[in-house]
Chains A and B, each alone.
Chain A
Amino acid sequence: ETVLTQSPATLSLSPGERATLSCRASQSVSGYLAWYQQKPGQAPRLLIYDASNRATGIPARFSGSGSGTDFTLTISSLEPEDFAVYYCQQRQNWPPLTFGGGTRVEIK
């Protein structure tokens, strides 16, 4: 099973600041990594797939990069609605599909 480790667990930032979230895989997932945003009481929302492709309707301030085992989600300038929990997910080595433990982006 491919384990995904996200860091940091919590990121405390102010609106307008840049957020950089990391996801590291226990083995190569090639470019097959996705990022989701989840707000309390809601289902996850797809942001990025295949490392760097924005899903439909996702603002350009969200970008993804990386390949192999190291991936990054960047939010260029935090908006109030971006404070949430973010998860990565791999689809290279499945079953099982696996998710990371999440990074909470909170208001400083």
Chain B
Amino acid sequence: QVQLVESGGGVVQPGGSLRLSCAATGFTFSNYFMHWVRQAPGTGPEWVAVIWHDGSKDSYADSVKGRFTISRDNSKNTVHLQLNSLRAEDTAVYYCAKTLLPTGGGEVFDVWGQGTMVTVSS
């Protein structure tokens, strides 16, 4: 069964840091680009970041560029998102998501995790 399980969310003060993790099972993880998507309360999803299947490249939304870092460990089937210099507007549920097709064949998301809540508040 294909599954993604996120962890690492919590409450953090503005300017603080968190590291989110996503554990993948049920598919050949090293063949797929992996993405993080977030959703603030009452709003639509917002794409955050992607990492290539082999970890050779990544890309970020302008709203998080320079503050967030995506990484992956294909030996452990995990993807991470390091969140630094957090702001109130980063408050959201953060999802990791698997693409429908392997190796960059199509950036739509057929499997999502359950999400992990990040709250940035003093």
Contacts and interface: CB of A to CB of B under 8 A. Distances in A.
A66 interface: no
Contacts of A101: 43-44
A43 B113 contact: yes
A97 B47 CA distance: 6
Q: In which size bucket is the chain A interface? A: 20 to 34
A87 B107 CA distance: 15
Q: In which size bucket is the chain B interface? A: 20 to 34
Interface string B98-118: 001000001111101111000
B11 to A, nearest CB: 19
A49 B106 contact: yes
B45 A44 contact: yes
A95 B114 contact: no
A43 B95 contact: yes
Nearest to A56: B110
Interface of B: 35, 43-47, 50, 59-62, 95, 100, 106-110, 112-115
